[in-house]
Structure 1
Amino acid sequence: MRKLKRKSKKFLLVTVLTSLLLLTGCQNVRMWFKDFQQSFKGLHMTIRTYDDESQIIDEVKGKSVYIERDKDFDTDDETKDSSVLRITVGGKELHHVGSSMIVEEEGLHNVFDDYRQKHDLKDLDSSLPIVNKMVDEFRNQFTGKKKVVLIRSQRGYPLATYSGDKVSLYQTDVPKSTGILIDNHYLFIYRCDYTIYDTSLLDD
Structure 2
Amino acid sequence: MKQSKKPFLLVLLVGAVFTLSGCQDVRMWFKGFEQSFKGLEMTIRTYDEESQVMDEISGKSIMIERDSEFDSDEERADSSVIRVTIGSKELHHVGSSMVIEEQGLENIFDDYAKTVDYQNIERGIPVLNAMVNQYKQSFTGKKKVVLIRSQNGTPLATYAGNKVSLYKTDVPKSTGLLIDGRYLFVYRCDYTVYDTDLFF
With structure 2 as the length reference, what TM-score do the two structures score? 0.77
Please tell me whether the aligned partners of residues 116 and 199 of structure 2 are also in contact (alpha carbons under 8 angstroms): no
- How far residue 130 of structure 1 moved from its aligned partner, in angstroms, is 7.0
Q: Does 1:158 align with 2:168?
A: no
3-state secondary structure, aligned to 1:166? strand
Alignment partners' CA distance in 1, 2:45 and 2:17: 32
- How far residue 160 of structure 1 moved from its aligned partner, in angstroms, is 0.7
Q: Does 1:60 align with 2:57?
A: yes
Q: Does 1:129 align with 2:115?
A: yes
Taking the TM superposition and a 5 Å limit, the aligned residue runs for 1:1-204 are 16=13, 19-24=15-20, 25-112=22-109, 129=115, 146-203=143-200
Structure 2 residue runs of 5 or longer lacking an equivalent are 1-9, 119-141
3-state secondary structure, aligned to 2:19? helix
Identify the residue that residue 3 of structure 1 maps to in structure 2. none
Letter matched to residue 32 of structure 1: W
- How far residue 21 of structure 1 moved from its aligned partner, in angstroms, is 4.4
- How far residue 159 of structure 1 moved from its aligned partner, in angstroms, is 1.1
Identify the residue that residue 136 of structure 1 maps to in structure 2. none
- How far residue 131 of structure 1 moved from its aligned partner, in angstroms, is 9.5
The structure carrying a bigger helix percent of its residues is: 1
- How far residue 20 of structure 1 moved from its aligned partner, in angstroms, is 3.7
Letter matched to residue 50 of structure 2: E
Alignment partners' CA distance in 1, 2:159 and 2:87: 26
Alignment partners' CA distance in 2, 1:156 and 1:83: 21
- How far residue 115 of structure 1 moved from its aligned partner, in angstroms, is 5.6
Deviations along 1:66-121, one digit per CA (max 9) or x if unpaired, are 00000100001121000000000011010000000000000100011x569xxxx8
Alignment partners' CA distance in 1, 2:95 and 2:163: 30
Number of matched residues? 166
| Percent of residue pairs bearing the same amino acid type | 66
Alignment partners' CA distance in 2, 1:155 and 1:19: 48
Alignment partners' CA distance in 2, 1:166 and 1:131: 23
Decide whether aligned partners of structure 1 residues 199 and 174 sit closer, same or farther in structure 2, where only a CA change above 3 A counts: same
Letter matched to residue 62 of structure 1: G
